Structure 1
Amino acid sequence: MTEGPHRFLCRDCLTDHVREHGALDRCPACGSPRLISHPERDSLSIAHVDCDAFYASIEKRDDPSLADKPVIVGGGRRGVVSTACYVARTYGVRSAMPMFKALKACPDAVVIRPNMEKYVRVGREVRRMMLELTPLVEPLSIDEAFLDLSGTERLHHASPAATLAAFARRVETEIGITVSIGLAPNKFLAKIASDLDKPRGFSIIGRREAADFLADKPVSLIHGVGKVAEERLAKAGFRRIRDLRDAWPERLTALLGREGPRLHRLAHGIDDRMVDPERETKSISAETTFEHDIADPAVLVPILWRLSEKLSARLKHAGLAGRTVTLKLKTADFRLRTRSRTLPATQLASRLFEAGRDLLQAECDGTAFRLLGIGATEICAAEEADLGDLADQDVRRARDMERAVDTLRERFGAAAVVKGIVFKNREPD
């Protein structure tokens, strides 16, 4: 089949150029080198949008003197890195790194305590702009989302690729931060594409190239394959995605249970998940994957408390609460366990933890776990939660206590008030 003319879309002036033969290095209209060209550019509609170094970018926007400096947003010397700007990342600083290690790697970094209220406000501005492109927006977190722009060409008088390029420029111009975009035939490939050219990136992975693109990538590129899973797969001879692709599905099922068929499909670039605009309102959760499998409840319970605090903070920042607490556990052989308990609507860490701890203790039968998580479902407005009644008079005291703790942490950082349970058998950050 003979290829048609090559199209080049400038991401800066949004001019579309057509050439019968050859490539363009720069936009003829404005001279920008940031051109989008791909054989499937105008036939793809699933995107992943990710704000670049979100917290740090907002701080740099609000204080121009920080523009060229390494900036770390995090919770003090004893805390961890929430976000590192791209300058700090050149020194090896990464999210979730203990702060003392980050400052050892980059001693000249400017450390800023998180201002979640501000970040949530900016995240909502970006989300509002996304919803102007399509109603099919599936938020993954405060700063990233999947979008399905199928059928939007008539509305925007442009292909999804051109619409997304205009969106990226608008975010940068009107909000003052940057985003990176991945465009692909499905969510799995779109998520990978958005990481290929950060910051201010726009990358495309098409249907025809997906298998070859994935073949030599490590299995850890697949979401859900952490360090423990990667080691388990390596022992079985699966180091590259091509190894998973070429394996018998039955062998992967025997090795990984229900995860096996999922990995086999993804290794072929197949992902049938729809973009779900209701995802964020269905549940809010916090989870962690361990470096080493853990069976000891004395170690798991303090970790569950820290996750309960994270879950509580996310609910509070979103102005939401949950009526059902769900415990999530993944065993060393990748089998998933979920256990739930319904209770009066709450956003309090103490209430979430109590329910989660009871569920966890029932599962601690000597089984080693590689993942622990806690989530809230049956989401409702915060105003409906933690009201207390004659049968539950302690809830107001718990609510007032947590508000006082939250206020102290906002002023002095996350490490200002730490529950004693965290220090017992504490897992290293």
Structure 2
Amino acid sequence: MAAGETLCRECFTWSAGTPTRCPSCGSARVLSHPELRSLSIAHLDCDAFYASVEKRDDPSLLDKPVIVGGRHRGVVSAACYVARIYGVRSAMPMFKALDACPHAVVIKPDMKKYAAVGGEIREMMRAITPQVEPLSIDEAFMDLGGTERLHRAPPAETLARLAKRVEEEVRVTVSIGLSFNKFLAKVSSDLDKPRGFHVIGQGEALSFLADQPVSILWGVGKTLQRKLIDDGIRTIGDLQPMEETDLMRRYGSIGQRLARFSHGRDDRRIEPGSVVKSVSNETTFDTDISDIDALRPYLWRLSEEVSGRLKRKAIAGGVVTLKLKTKDFKIVTRQQHLLAPTQLADRIYRTADALLSKQADGRRFRLIGVGVSDLAGERLADPADLADPGFETRRKVEGAMDAVRAKLGDAAITKGIGLKARKIRQQPSDKMPEGEEL
């Protein structure tokens, strides 16, 4: 393409040069880049998704700071951009968020609603290209290579039309990153929020990355970031002159990723229909709990919730994980590998309870969670266990309870242990593949 061609994100007119406003409709929402017609890997991310859906459904909240999350002792699941002005961020303890923004409106998460809205957007994406790789309910990668003839437009224009359609029909906004690989597309989508559309081309990738902190590299968590800083590596530019072999010798296998990403190289392909990697649920208590007999009802209800989602998705998990958070916010996780995948609440609970018994040593906990990973199809789930003669009976009882719930609702029946925890606040999570946190 000719250098400096510009796309209007409102009327989708292409024009020569780099005008600050569209010569056709006058909009200032124009996008210019020398590689705009040739790039095809995108990352779409909904803006403050949970909070945006709540504002959409209650217009009285439009100009107010909105926080989605558990009240009092919970954490922030999402914060609107008004709340972010006051310093509120996702995963922040709620008491800190309300200290920063005491006049915020706090709303309990409605995951079923958010999943439905996310699914609607996902279908719009798949109508454009089958090459859609979900990361979570509100973000995904897209590969629009080869779609120009189908849509009679370059990928950039198709994406701009998609963003406008989502805004008009679903009434939430999205930000888009466009580049030549997944890593840079994801980085790009964070640079111009909300309602953003940012482009990183091959021509400027190295110079752009050089000034960025190492924390933007996919897979660099807080621990690795501290180690890099201790070694005098603060920016990606500090990494770029280093040899891949030296980085691998110093940091292990992640060193290869550091070397390649620091030069803007990423050969991972879009993987349509990527499966969920884990299913989990957790709750924060109103008062810290140390007594194991008081913790067990919560653990049972969480196990039921995880089991229910596994059954609805027709999957099973081979690893059970227990998560605890102490009163001083230290996170403790323990795992147990199973002999065969399970989707039964009974087996999840019994495995997690055995892990809990080793951790309930008098410490006070503010949060408990349970999850399963190493997922497989349900046909492999819960074979007969000759070492546990009561297992078959418990499986039949659980199946009968599931049948009652399917007919009368989830609250229709539960075991006695679950009645003590009917009012717990749960934070479900179906985790998609993402970069490893180190």
Tell me the TM-score range normalised by the shorter chain.
0.7 to 0.9
Q: Provide the residue aligned with 1:160 in structure 2.
A: 155
1:72 to 67, 71, 86: 67
Using a 3 Å threshold, how does the CA distance of structure 1 residues 150 and 353 change in structure 2: closer, same or farther?
Answer: farther
1:218–1:239 Cα contact (<8 Å) kept = yes
Q: Provide the residue aligned with 1:346 in structure 2.
A: 343
For structure 1, the 5+ residue unaligned runs are: 289-301, 329-337, 363-371, 417-429
Q: One-letter code of the match for 1:392?
A: E
Q: One-letter code of the match for 1:143?
A: D
Q: Distance in 2 between matches of 1:411 and 1:100?
A: 24
Using a 3 Å threshold, how does the CA distance of structure 1 residues 287 and 204 change in structure 2: closer, same or farther?
Answer: farther
Q: Distance in 2 between matches of 1:324 and 1:196?
A: 37
**Pairwise CA RMSD of aligned residues?**
3.9
Q: Provide the residue aligned with 2:16 in structure 1.
A: 18
Q: Provide the residue aligned with 2:392 in structure 1.
A: 392
Q: Which aligned pairs between 1:135-284 and structure 2 lie closer than 5 A?
A: 135-280=130-275, 283-284=277-278
TM-aligned CA deviation for residue 376 of structure 1:
4.1
Using a 3 Å threshold, how does the CA distance of structure 1 residues 375 and 415 change in structure 2: closer, same or farther?
Answer: closer
State percent identity of aligned pairs. 49
TM-aligned CA deviation for residue 240 of structure 1:
1.1
2:37–2:154 Cα contact (<8 Å) kept = yes
TM-aligned CA deviation for residue 208 of structure 1:
1.5
Using a 3 Å threshold, how does the CA distance of structure 1 residues 313 and 5 change in structure 2: closer, same or farther?
Answer: same
Q: Provide the residue aligned with 1:366 in structure 2.
A: none
2:76–2:94 Cα contact (<8 Å) kept = yes
Q: Which aligned pairs between 1:349-428 and structure 2 lie closer than 5 A?
A: 351-352=347-348, 375-380=373-378, 391-395=391-395, 404=411, 414=425
Q: One-letter code of the match for 1:148?
A: D
Q: Secondary structure at the match of 1:343?
A: strand
Q: Deviations over 1:123-146 (max 9, x none)?
A: 110000000010010000000000
TM-aligned CA deviation for residue 18 of structure 1:
2.0
Q: Secondary structure at the match of 2:126?
A: helix
Q: One-letter code of the match for 2:6?
A: F
1:45–1:184 Cα contact (<8 Å) kept = yes
1:48–1:144 Cα contact (<8 Å) kept = yes
Q: Provide the residue aligned with 1:134 in structure 2.
A: 129
Using a 3 Å threshold, how does the CA distance of structure 1 residues 141 and 16 change in structure 2: closer, same or farther?
Answer: same
Using a 3 Å threshold, how does the CA distance of structure 1 residues 84 and 347 change in structure 2: closer, same or farther?
Answer: farther
Q: Distance in 1 between matches of 2:357 and 2:257?
A: 30
Mean alpha-carbon deviation: is it higher for 124-133 or for 224-233? 224-233
TM-aligned CA deviation for residue 319 of structure 1:
2.9
Q: Secondary structure at the match of 1:172?
A: helix
1:83 to 78, 81, 102: 78
Q: Distance in 2 between matches of 1:396 and 1:86?
A: 49
Using a 3 Å threshold, how does the CA distance of structure 1 residues 112 and 88 change in structure 2: closer, same or farther?
Answer: same
Q: Deviations over 1:347-392 (max 9, x none)?
A: 64x6446557889999xxxxxxxxx9852411449xx889999733
Q: Distance in 2 between matches of 1:117 and 1:132?
A: 23
TM-aligned CA deviation for residue 156 of structure 1:
0.4
Q: One-letter code of the match for 2:5?
A: R
1:323–1:343 Cα contact (<8 Å) kept = no
For structure 2, the 5+ residue unaligned runs are: 283-294, 322-334, 359-369, 428-438
Using a 3 Å threshold, how does the CA distance of structure 1 residues 257 and 17 change in structure 2: closer, same or farther?
Answer: same
Equivalenced residues, count = 375
1:340–1:359 Cα contact (<8 Å) kept = no
Q: Distance in 2 between matches of 1:60 and 1:80?
A: 19
Mean alpha-carbon deviation: is it higher for 56-65 or for 394-403? 394-403
Q: One-letter code of the match for 1:378?
A: A
Q: Which aligned pairs between 1:277-316 and structure 2 lie closer than 5 A?
A: 277-280=272-275, 283-284=277-278, 309=302, 313=306, 316=309
Q: Distance in 1 between matches of 2:257 and 2:356?
A: 27
TM-score, structure 1 as length reference: 0.76
Q: Distance in 2 between matches of 1:318 and 1:161?
A: 39
2:318–2:341 Cα contact (<8 Å) kept = no
TM-aligned CA deviation for residue 160 of structure 1:
0.4
Q: Provide the residue aligned with 1:115 in structure 2.
A: 110
TM-aligned CA deviation for residue 410 of structure 1:
12
Q: Which aligned pairs between 1:11-50 and structure 2 lie closer than 5 A?
A: 11-19=9-17, 23-50=18-45
TM-score, structure 2 as length reference: 0.75
Q: Secondary structure at the match of 1:6?
A: coil
Q: Secondary structure at the match of 2:133?
A: strand
Q: One-letter code of the match for 1:61?
A: R
Using a 3 Å threshold, how does the CA distance of structure 1 residues 394 and 169 change in structure 2: closer, same or farther?
Answer: same
Q: Distance in 1 between matches of 2:353 and 2:202?
A: 45
Q: Deviations over 1:254-288 (max 9, x none)?
A: 2221111111101110000000013125x335699
Q: Provide the residue aligned with 2:317 in structure 1.
A: 324
Q: Distance in 2 between matches of 1:310 and 1:33?
A: 51
Q: One-letter code of the match for 1:414?
A: R
Q: Provide the residue aligned with 1:9 in structure 2.
A: 7
Q: Deviations over 1:139-191 (max 9, x none)?
A: 00000000001100011000000000000000000000000000000000000
Q: Secondary structure at the match of 1:180?
A: strand
1:287–1:374 Cα contact (<8 Å) kept = no
Q: Distance in 1 between matches of 2:77 and 2:419?
A: 19
Q: One-letter code of the match for 2:392?
A: D
